[in-house]
Chain A
Amino acid sequence: MIRAAVATVLLAGGTAFIVIASIGVARMPDVFQRMHAATKAGGIGSSLVVLGVLVTGVARPMTGVLTILFMLLSLSVASQLLARAAYISGAPIEGLERGDPLAGVLDRTDIQAAERDGAPEESGVPAAAPAAPDRASDLVSSMRRIGPSE
């Protein structure tokens, strides 16, 4: 009986976290704040729900423990990768007060310039053909920036 009570509290708490996270995903103003809501609250929420199911003892505990561990480990890594890619691809940032601290660290596409030059996936072959070696050199330079250069 006490086990069912603990499970109910965990399940309800996890569901509340997930609902709040999805409200954040729907309502936050830019990509990075949406990611902030989705990763932290979403990861905690689903971990709590899986933990609540484990407490009830309906399934083998190993699968649930693995799920929780894997989600706690992988969500942070995946969201870091995604945030880095969003920054590099020029996603707009709302509400910066003292400028961009990453301005000289990662090279960032200017979204207005990219739109002025024309969207590369719509214009087809003439835009894509000269862009290919440029993209490769960009990749090399961005990989070089990851390493201990300075």
Chain B
Amino acid sequence: MTMLALPVVAPVLIAVLALSLALTAWRMLRGPGYANRFVALDMLTAVVVSIAALTALATGRGAFLDVGLGVALINFASTCAFAAFLERRRGGR
């Protein structure tokens, strides 16, 4: 076998990304204060966009890529809102 089939590679990469989901979720649960949790949320979204793209590859349905685009759009709005909240709140660690 010279070449790995892509629908086989994609679930393996999703399993690898589950590790980084776990690390980021750990930071979100533990991280002291709001700022760390917002950073973890930002990272979580990057992981989710990648997992959506890999799911499109694994299942052969291109619509999962649209899920990634939607999550990226929502992430931008939510990060801006959380940053405004944190800036007005004063005293999050």
Contacts and interface: CB of A to CB of B under 8 A. Distances in A.
Among B84, B90, B92, find the residue whose CB has the most chain A CB atoms closer than 10 A.
Answer: B90
Contacts of A38: 39-40, 42-43, 46
A49 B51 CA distance: 9
Interface string B27-55: 10001011110111011001101100110
A25 B87 contact: no
B24 A111 contact: no
A114 B93 CA distance: 10
A59 interface: yes
B6 interface: yes
Interface residues of B, number: 60
B56 A88 contact: no
Given A64-B53, A86-B86, A70 B73 contact: yes
Contacts, number: 208
A contact patch SS: helix
Interface residues on A, range: 35 or more
B21 to A, nearest CB: 8
B48 to A, nearest CB: 9
A88 B63 CA distance: 40
B35 A142 contact: no
Contacts of B42: 35, 38-39, 42, 75, 78-79, 82
B36 A11 contact: no
A8 B9 contact: yes
Given A18-B47, A63-B69, A111 B27 contact: no
Contacts of B6: 4, 7-8, 56
18 contacts: A18-B46, A22-B47, A34-B36, A46-B47, A49-B49, A53-B57, A58-B56, A59-B65, A63-B62, A67-B69, A70-B72, A85-B87, A88-B87, A89-B86, A90-B90, A109-B91, A114-B91, A139-B88
